[in-house]
């Protein structure tokens, strides 16, 4: 396992380019991964370290790493760092970028021989591509506005199934420190989706761009409610999601079902140390799909899946809007 520093790769940002530094950093890292100069298992620099090196806000690097994680290229573990995965997305990126590298290298040589400034040449090329049909017909661009604490991979998957679109996630937690990135994500989207928990926040963010927001909701499988209702009175139960806010959402669904005779605790996976130390105090741990594999491995005898499903009305709404956007 190695790092960018050990392999001596230098990331750069240019404030004079017409697209933001977030995108510049993310795309450079994708190139390093795609052409095999950074490999599965390698660690990216810490967010604070890379922010200091590039003289940027730490929130910018957090956004970059979160986007790489949502694209399936890295995993982020508190206390362990951000590590490149060996999954299908990484392999697919390599299959795409290696032949692309050959074509771009050839283009660079020809452009230099013709005396073109490379940045001007490729920016002009980007502008020229915008004159072409911008997107495959029938495939909308969908932006999911969510927070880090909820099970955003679940919503992302459900939205993709309902719309068959290209999905991008932007975390509302990061909006204040990444206004340029938020604006660009909103403006390039055909459909903007958020959850009930963040409806007001998302609508306020998008209102200045005259963009409407689709609000969706999730529910819990009835069989799970019956199972939890059958637990012994006073049982100590933990609800765990990516963050504590997600755990609270899960616990609230149980309270709404009238199940109140339990000792309920809500946790996020950023509290791994506490979870490990408190394992003996819990009778049951219910984990969202995003954290279930890791928790099941940690605490196999007590961990159960907390299955969520998109509300039928939300799925129908997404399908209808996707059809209208084509």
- What are φ and ψ of residue 125, in 5° steps? -65, -40
How far is the C-alpha of 123 from the C-alpha of 115, rounded, in Å?
15
Q: For 95-133, what is each residue's pLDDT tens digit?
A: 888 888 888 998 999 999 999 999 889 888 887 776 765
Least confident of 78-82, 192-196, 254-258: 78-82
The reply to whether 118 and 169 lie within a common domain is no
Do 285 and 301 fall into the same domain?
A: yes
Q: Do residue 26 and residue 6 come from a single domain?
A: yes
Query: Where residue 7 falls among pLDDT bands split at 50, 70, 90?
Result: low
> Same structural domain for residues 171 and 316?
yes
**44: its two tokens:** 């990216």
Q: Are residues 152 and 229 in the same domain?
A: no
Domain that holds residue 302: 220-308
Q: Supply the CATH number for residue 249's domain.
A: 3.40.50
Domain count, the chain: 3
Which CATH number is 208's domain given?
A: 3.40.50.2300
Last residue of a domain, one of 132, 153, 171: 132
Whether residue 50 is found in the same domain as residue 192:
no
Among 113, 132, 151, the domain-final residue is 132
Q: Which helix (H) or strand (E) holds 61?
A: helix 58-70
pLDDT at 227: 93
Task: List the beta strands (DSSP E) in the chain.
Answer: 43-44, 74-77, 81-84, 141-146, 166-171, 191-195, 214-216, 218-220, 236-241, 263-268, 284-287, 303-305, 308-310
């Amino acid at each position: 396992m190695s790092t960018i520093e050990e392999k001596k790769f230098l990331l750069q940002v240019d404030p004079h380019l017409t697209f933001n530094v977030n995108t510049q950093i993310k795309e450079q890292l994708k190139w390093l991964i795609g052409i095999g100069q950074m490999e599965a298992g390698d660690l990216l620099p810490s967010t604070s370290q890379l922010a200091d090196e590039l003289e940027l806000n730490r929130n910018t690097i957090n956004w970059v790493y979160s986007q790489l994680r949502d694209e399936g290229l890295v995993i982020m573990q508190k206390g362990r760092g951000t590590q490149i995965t060996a999954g299908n997305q990484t392999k697919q990126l390599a299959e795409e970028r290696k032949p692309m590298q050959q074509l771009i290298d050839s283009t660079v040589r020809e452009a230099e021989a013709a005396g073109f400034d490379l940045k001007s040449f490729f920016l002009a090329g980007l502008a020229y591509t915008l004159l072409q049909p911008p997107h495959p017909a029938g495939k909308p661009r969908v932006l999911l506005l969510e927070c880090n604490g909820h099970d955003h991979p679940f919503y992302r998957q459900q939205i993709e199934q309902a719309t068959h679109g290209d999905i991008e996630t932007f975390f509302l937690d990061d909006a204040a420190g990444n206004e340029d990135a938020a604006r660009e994500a909103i403006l390039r989207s055909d459909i903007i989706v958020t959850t009930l928990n963040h409806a007001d926040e998302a609508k306020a963010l998008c209102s200045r761009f005259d963009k409407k927001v689709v609000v969706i909701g999730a529910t819990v499988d009835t069989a799970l409610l019956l199972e939890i209702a059958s637990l012994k009175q006073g049982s100590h139960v933990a609800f765990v999601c990516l963050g504590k806010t997600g755990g609270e959402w899960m616990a609230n669904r149980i309270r709404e079902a009238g199940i109140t005779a339990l000792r309920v605790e809500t946790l996020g996976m950023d509290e791994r140390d506490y979870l490990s130390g408190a394992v003996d105090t819990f009778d049951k741990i219910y984990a969202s799909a995003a954290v279930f594999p890791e928790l099941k491995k940690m605490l196999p005898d007590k961990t159960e899946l907390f299955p969520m499903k998109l509300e039928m009305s939300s799925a129908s709404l997404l399908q209808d809007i996707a059809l209208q956007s084509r």
